[in-house]
Structure 1
Amino acid sequence: MVSQIQPQKGYTIVLFLAFIVAVLLAGFSLYDNGIVAAERIRMQNTADATAYSTMNVLSRDMNFIAYTNRSMVANQVAIGQMVGLSSWAHMADQVVQNIDTLAKLSYAFPPVGLPLNQITRVMSKVSKVARNFMDKGAGVVIKATDVLIGIISRGQSAFQGVTAEMAKATYTGVSEANDKDIKAGFAGSSLAVDTLAKSWAQEVDININANTSRGSSNNRRLKRFKEFAGIVRDSRDPFSSNRSRFWLNWVGVSIIGYEAKVSIQKKGGSDFMEVKSRSKKLQWQWTAMDTVSLWQHLEWWAWNGHHKWTGEILPMGWGAGHALNKNSLSQYSKYFNYANYKKQKQKSFYDKGQQTLFQNKWLHWGHEGSWKNNISSTIAAKDDGNNNLTSINGLRAFGDLKKNDKKDTGPSMVVMLTKPANTMRLQKTIDKENSQYNRNKLMTIEEKGSIAKDTIYGLSKAETYFSRPRNLWKRKDGYREYGNLYNPFWQTRLIDSNFLERSLASAIQY
């Protein structure tokens, strides 16, 4: 017998209402959770953008210091070039004058002497005009370049104050541009930027020459100035660093048991030297010398063995030029003392194992450079010892890292932003803003607040770091380059906050 299913009768509205209530409660909850999740993502993006943008201002400042340092180095080298050109012009003029003097001996044979002397007389006049023109032109260029170096130095210092204001404006501007309801955090933008400024001050220092005396040999600034001067020396072009050449290589005769050769040796270069000023402050200034001499090499055998002699026999030309600080005319501005000074300095550097800084460019001016032509250089010291083209101020204030640590990272900053719940479109906010939208207390599941302390937080951290691209500007020596303020390769990146920073943020939230 087949039983028939009996249809059920009754009301489903009760079950339907219960289902609808559950759906509404879930909907209200999901709505708030979705809004909060979206706001948290937006908050984190804003915190990241604020930290990155603010730190990027500092990275640009460090690159600005590097650019201006390089500019001051380049302009110092330009002064050295002008001093070298003046010295070379004096040497060339003296060579011509000596040729003119020797040509007068040819008057003994008029058919040759008369035309020869007319030629040398014209050459003599032209060389004097060229020498005087070079001296005046070099003086003007050197003075203008020295003024430019001062402007760059002052601009570098002034930019530090601008950077602080730019960082503060960036901090506030970026956060507000992303969300006008976001607040700068529990500490405010001023404290955050001030903290960053203190961090920057611990890493970077503006070295001022007036604060550095020669007596403080272990002073950090003194070392930085010597490093800067070393970079200037190592940045010299070949003409400035070494003008030593053989105008005539060794030629002569060789007979059994006897050999005689002669050569014409041109010696010269420009140096950026450290001197003691009258006020006992450090000064660096440019000086150059060029000499030409005839050398002889003799070699012979005698009853007592083999003998040889090489030496300068005839000075042919000499000249020198300087750009000295008017308050620094001291014993080291005198040529004889300077030659000895160079010897002592070179020996000191060698003994300390620090010779690598100037290893190939240190001696071209001193006793291994122009002074190797001893007779010519002695005359140059007498004739052109006072050929000061113009007074200069030497090294100016410049920015550099305080520490010698081999690292690539610079200052960092932590950004913590906040946003109150009443600025978000939560159900609770809608209830307050819309009087016609009244939910029953049964539907108000977030009555005590759906966000802790009615505020959401965003935490981010950024730092500046140094990275020289190896594929674009690879070093010729292949060495790894650490962070410095002579090459503008400072960049910005986001990094993870540490445990202490996260703990502090959590403590503030709860």
Structure 2
Amino acid sequence: MSFQYAQRGSLSIWLVPLMLALLIMLVGVLQHGQMQRQSWTRQITVDHLALSAGVLLAREMNILAMTNRALLANQLVVSQLIGIASWFEMLRTSTTRTATISAWVPGLNAVTRQIALIVRQSQQPVEQLVRAGIIMQKAITTALSSMQTLVRASFAVMIPATLTDIAKLHTSEPFEFDILHSPTLLPFPLLWWSFIRPRHTGNDDSALLTRMQASMDPFSQHRTYSWFDFFALKIIKTGGTEVTVDKRGRWHWQGLDTLSLHLRAFWSWQELPWGEGARQQQRIDKVERDAFGKSRHYNPRAVSWALSTQRTIQSGQRIYYFDRPQLATEKAPSVFVRSGSAVAKAGIRFYRPQSLFARSDNRLEKANLFNPFWEGQLQSLTQLDRQLLLRQDALEDNQR
């Protein structure tokens, strides 16, 4: 019996080192798992922060795009108001002459005289409403331009604060991180502010003017058509609204409308002006052949009469906005979010889904700041990004 007890004791002595070794291995595995879990949590948190930064940058771009479109729409309203004023002046002159010519026709003279009186009495209230509308549109334009500046400043402050709040939702421990620009590692938002710069209609190479001319409605583009055409008599109505830019970059809208009778006399046509009107924000000195709905081509004499009686309604305005010529997403500065060894990169892209917002010409739309189709996305680190990050790590180690 004593031999058996001695044998059991010797086995238990040999099991102690083995159990100790297993315990040490278990503790090591648990510590490694804890470190791995912390590393994964840190990387996931950094990924979420970077993606959130990209989404916020895209939202800023979308707000700028919508306000830029609002600026164009606001100017379109001004062009319509000027067009209405010139069209109404043409209506007044044409009805007045109609009443004068028909004064000797019994029955008809009372009708034409009453119509002319109503139009003449309505002209002043209409022009007052037009003036008030233009003043209101100027105030709206100024407010939109100021709003863009405030949006840029507010997003620069909001993005770091928002990322801090998001980090608190991922971990209860203090989470320190840096927001940098790719690929220069400059602090945010230095490159972002320099990428989208403020512009105005005096230094943008007529970029906004080109978009405005392409966005004009049919009423503003041309109001030219034939009212009557039979053998030796034609009645042609012409008109349109144009915009000119002075040396200070201010936009001035000009409206011109004419109505003429054309009588055929042997081998030529003779024009008899019947109505004309011109209202503008800057005096119309010269009318090109294709301007104002080709008014000078069809009714040259009525155009001369309209220019001699033109009237100014308010003045023009210089438009301030944010844009970048030849905007390319691959040149847009991305954002690094870095916390320790965990790094994530995010940026923006322009994507217009054809299934939801199809273009009439079915063409692929390039990136621009006039359509709100920007979205944020995570991006892969390039070789240059890795080299810059390693170099920064080395500098930080040397400073320590």
TM-score, length of structure 2 as denominator length = 0.89
Alignment of 1:19-34 (within 5 A): 19-34=18-33
Q: Establish whether residue 313 from structure 1 lines up as the match of residue 271 from structure 2.
A: yes
Q: Establish whether residue 412 from structure 1 lines up as the match of residue 350 from structure 2.
A: no
**2:347 aligned to 422, 444, 463, which one?**
463
Question: Which amino acid in structure 2 is aligned with residue 338 of structure 1?
Answer: K
Deviation at 1:87, TM superposition (A): 0.8
Q: Give unpaired runs (5+ residues) of structure 2.
A: 1-5
Which structure has the larger Rg over C-alpha atoms? 1
SS of the equivalent of 1:199 reads helix
Deviation at 1:41, TM superposition (A): 1.1
2:261 corresponds in structure 1 to 294
Aligned residues: 388
Q: Distance in 1 between matches of 2:180 and 2:329?
A: 29
Q: Distance in 1 between matches of 2:347 and 2:187?
A: 13
Residues 44-78 of structure 1: CA deviation (Å, up to 9, x unaligned): 11101111112222211111111110001001000
1:398 corresponds in structure 2 to 321
Q: Distance in 1 between matches of 2:246 and 2:239?
A: 20
Cα RMSD of the aligned pairs, angstroms, is 2.6
SS of the equivalent of 1:468 reads coil
Q: Distance in 1 between matches of 2:117 and 2:52?
A: 64
Residues 320-365 of structure 1: CA deviation (Å, up to 9, x unaligned): 11234xxxxxxxx2x3x331xx46xxxxxxxxxxxxxxxxxxx451
**1:275 aligned to 225, 239, 246, which one?**
246
Q: Establish whether residue 376 from structure 1 lines up as the match of residue 302 from structure 2.
A: yes
Deviation at 1:17, TM superposition (A): 1.4
2:93 corresponds in structure 1 to 94
Q: Is the 8 A contact 1:50 1:415 kept in 2?
A: yes
SS of the equivalent of 1:143 reads helix
Q: Distance in 1 between matches of 2:92 and 2:70?
A: 33
Q: Establish whether residue 284 from structure 1 lines up as the match of residue 284 from structure 2.
A: no
Deviation at 1:371, TM superposition (A): 5.6
Q: Establish whether residue 323 from structure 1 lines up as the match of residue 247 from structure 2.
A: no
Q: Give unpaired runs (5+ residues) of structure 1.
A: 1-7, 107-111, 213-220, 253-260, 300-307, 325-332, 344-362, 419-456
Alignment of 1:187-198 (within 5 A): 188-189=178-179, 195-198=187-190
Q: Cα distance 1:284–1:268, how it changes in 2: closer, same or farther (>3 A)?
A: same
Q: Is the 8 A contact 2:224 2:239 kept in 1?
A: yes
Q: Distance in 2 between matches of 1:321 and 1:469?
A: 42
Deviation at 1:86, TM superposition (A): 0.8
Q: Cα distance 1:292–1:312, how it changes in 2: closer, same or farther (>3 A)?
A: farther
Q: Distance in 2 between matches of 1:102 and 1:290?
A: 21
Q: Cα distance 1:406–1:177, how it changes in 2: closer, same or farther (>3 A)?
A: closer
Q: Establish whether residue 236 from structure 1 lines up as the match of residue 219 from structure 2.
A: no
Q: Is the 8 A contact 1:89 1:130 kept in 2?
A: no
Q: Distance in 2 between matches of 1:179 and 1:38?
A: 12
Q: Distance in 2 between matches of 1:50 and 1:89?
A: 58
Q: Distance in 1 between matches of 2:99 and 2:13?
A: 127
Question: Which amino acid in structure 1 is aligned with residue 279 of structure 2?
Answer: G
Question: Which amino acid in structure 2 is aligned with residue 288 of structure 1?
Answer: G
Deviation at 1:190, TM superposition (A): 8.3
Deviation at 1:409, TM superposition (A): 5.9
Question: Which amino acid in structure 2 is aligned with residue 484 of structure 1?
Answer: N
1:473 corresponds in structure 2 to 357
Question: Which amino acid in structure 2 is aligned with residue 13 of structure 1?
Answer: S
Deviation at 1:147, TM superposition (A): 0.8
Q: Distance in 1 between matches of 2:88 and 2:253?
A: 16
SS of the equivalent of 1:474 reads coil
Q: Is the 8 A contact 1:136 1:389 kept in 2?
A: no
SS of the equivalent of 2:120 reads helix
TM-score, length of structure 1 as denominator length = 0.71
Q: Is the 8 A contact 2:179 2:338 kept in 1?
A: no
Question: Which amino acid in structure 1 is aligned with residue 164 of structure 2?
Answer: T
Q: Distance in 2 between matches of 1:501 and 1:275?
A: 47
1:338 corresponds in structure 2 to 286
**2:313 aligned to 378, 389, 393, which one?**
389
Q: Distance in 1 between matches of 2:88 and 2:361?
A: 35
Q: Distance in 1 between matches of 2:120 and 2:100?
A: 14
Question: Which amino acid in structure 1 is aligned with residue 69 of structure 2?
Answer: R
Alignment of 1:96-245 (within 5 A): 96-104=95-103, 106=104, 112-113=105-106, 115-185=107-177, 188-189=178-179, 195-208=187-200, 212=202, 221-223=203-205, 226-245=206-225
Identity %: 23
Q: Cα distance 1:17–1:397, how it changes in 2: closer, same or farther (>3 A)?
A: same
Q: Is the 8 A contact 2:199 2:323 kept in 1?
A: yes
Deviation at 1:246, TM superposition (A): 0.7
Residues 396-424 of structure 1: CA deviation (Å, up to 9, x unaligned): 110001x4255566320111113xxxxxx
Deviation at 1:25, TM superposition (A): 1.1
Q: Establish whether residue 365 from structure 1 lines up as the match of residue 292 from structure 2.
A: yes
Deviation at 1:233, TM superposition (A): 1.9
Q: Distance in 1 between matches of 2:110 and 2:189?
A: 72
